[in-house]
C-alpha cells in the first residue's frame, strides 16, 4: 500500500503533495514501483495534529482519488463518513479507517474496510498511553470490530495494530514482536511502520545520538520492520518508499 498524503502537515511528507497534480504524479510513480493499493489521505493523524473540516478534506482528496482510480486501486484514509462516501463515489474501493468506526459505511457501499487500532485521538494520543497488556488489548479490539463488520456484511476486512497510534516505543515493539498473535485472529493484517517515530528513536540509538533521526532518514528501519511484518504473516504493508518495500517483499517471497 503506497501512501499519498494530500496534506500540508503529514509528519514525513507534509506539503510535498498538497497540489493535486503533484499528488497524482506521485501516486502514478508509486503504482509504477509496484504498489497494489494507493492510500489517499487529506488529514494528518500524526500525534498532535489538528482535525481538518470535512469540506477541506474533500477538496484535497477528491480530485486525486478520481484521477488515480483510473490507474489502480485506491483506498481512502479518513475517519469521516462524508469523506469516505464521496471518495468511494469518486472511485475508491477501500476505506482505511484509523477510527475503526466506519464499517456500516463500508457495508452499505460494498467496499473493503481496514480497522486500525488507535488509543484516544491524534491530538492527545501520545500523552502517556497505558495498557495492561498491549497485545491482548489490541487483538481483542480488532477482533471485535472485524466481527461486527463481518456481521454487517463487509466482505473484505483488514485489521491493523496501528503502530504509533497511542503507543510508546515499547508498545510498538511488543506489537511487532507478537504480530503472530494479530495474524492468528484470522483476518488479513495490514501494518504501517513506514518512517514512524519509533524507528527514529531506534535508529538514533544505533547511531549513538540523542533524540530521533529525521523521517527521511528512516528507510533502513522502515524496510527492516516491513520485512519482519511480512515474515510474521502480514498480508500488506503501508509504505512511503514503495520501491524498497516491493523489492523487500520479492526477496522475502523468494
Nearest residue (beta carbon) to ligand HH2: 192
Helix (H/G/I), strand (E/B), else coil: 81: helix
Locate 41 and state its grid cell: 489521505
Active site residue 178: no
> Which of the following is catalytic: 46, 60, 196, 218?
196
Contacting residues for 222 by C-beta, under 8 A, at least 6 apart:
193, 194, 195, 199, 239, 240, 241, 244, 245
Which residues contribute to the site for ligand HH2 (CB under 6 A)?
3, 5, 7, 10-12, 41, 44-46, 77, 96, 98, 114, 116, 160, 162-163, 190, 192, 238
CB of 144 to ligand HH2, least distance (A): 17
Share of the chain residues as helix, strand and coil, in percent rounded to the nearest 5: 45, 15, 40
Contacting residues for 188 by C-beta, under 8 A, at least 6 apart:
157, 158, 159, 235, 236
Which of 238, 201, 235, 237 minimizes the C-alpha distance to 221? Answer: 201
CB of 254 to ligand HH2, least distance (A): 26
If the CB atoms of residues 199 and 209 are measured against ligand HH2, the closer one turns out to be: 199
Which of 143, 151, 150, 60 minimizes the C-alpha distance to 161? Answer: 143
Q: How many CA atoms lie within 13 A of 188 on its CB side?
A: 11
If the CB atoms of residues 5 and 69 are measured against ligand HH2, the closer one turns out to be: 5
Tell me if 115 sits within 8 A of 98, measured CB to CB: no
If the CB atoms of residues 158 and 254 are measured against ligand HH2, the closer one turns out to be: 158
CB of 92 to ligand HH2, least distance (A): 14
If the CB atoms of residues 100 and 246 are measured against ligand HH2, the closer one turns out to be: 100
Q: Is the dihedral of CA 74, 79, 85, 86 positive or negative?
A: negative
Active site residue 46: no
Rounded to whole angstroms, the Cα distance separating 180 from 65 reads 33
> Which of the following is catalytic: 73, 85, 218, 238?
238
If the CB atoms of residues 127 and 209 are measured against ligand HH2, the closer one turns out to be: 127
CB of 14 to ligand HH2, least distance (A): 7
CB of 130 to ligand HH2, least distance (A): 20
| Catalytic (active-site) positions | 196, 238
Amino acid at each position: 500500500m503506497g501512501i499519498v498524503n494530500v496534506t500540508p502537515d503529514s509528519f514525513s511528507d507534509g506539503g510535498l503533495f498538497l497540489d493535486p497534480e503533484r499528488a497524482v504524479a506521485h501516486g502514478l510513480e508509486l503504482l509504477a514501483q509496484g504498489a497494489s493499493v494507493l492510500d489517499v489521505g487529506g488529514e494528518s493523524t500524526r500525534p498532535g495534529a489538528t482535525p481538518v473540516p470535512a469540506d477541506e478534506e474533500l477538496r484535497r482528496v477528491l480530485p486525486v482519488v478520481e484521477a488515480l482510480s483510473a490507474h489502480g486501486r485506491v483506498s481512502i484514509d479518513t475517519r469521516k463518513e462524508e469523506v469516505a462516501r464521496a471518495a468511494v463515489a469518486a472511485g475508491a474501493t477501500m476505506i482505511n479507517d484509523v477510527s475503526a468506526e466506519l464499517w456500516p459505511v463500508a457495508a452499505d457501499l460494498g467496499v473493503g474496510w481496514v480497522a486500525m487500532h488507535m488509543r484516544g485521538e491524534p491530538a492527545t494520543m501520545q500523552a502517556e498511553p497505558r495498557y495492561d497488556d498491549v497485545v491482548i488489548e489490541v487483538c481483542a479490539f480488532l477482533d471485535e470490530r472485524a466481527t461486527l463488520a463481518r456481521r454487517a456484511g463487509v466482505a473484505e476486512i483488514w485489521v491493523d495494530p496501528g503502530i504509533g497510534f497511542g503507543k510508546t516505543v515499547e508498545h510498538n515493539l511488543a506489537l511487532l514482536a507478537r504480530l503472530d498473535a494479530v495474524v492468528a485472529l484470522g483476518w488479513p493484517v495490514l501494518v504501517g511502520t513506514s518512517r514512524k517515530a519509533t524507528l527514529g528513536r531506534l535508529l538514533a540509538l544505533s547511531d549513538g545520538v540523542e533524540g530521533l533521526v529525521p523521517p527521511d532518514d528512516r528507510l533502513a528501519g522502515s524496510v527492516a520492520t516491513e520485512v519482519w511484518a511480512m515474515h510474521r504473516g502480514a498480508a500488506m504493508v503501508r509504505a512511503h518508499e514503495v520501491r524498497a518495500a516491493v523489492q523487500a517483499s520479492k526477496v522475502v517471497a523468494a
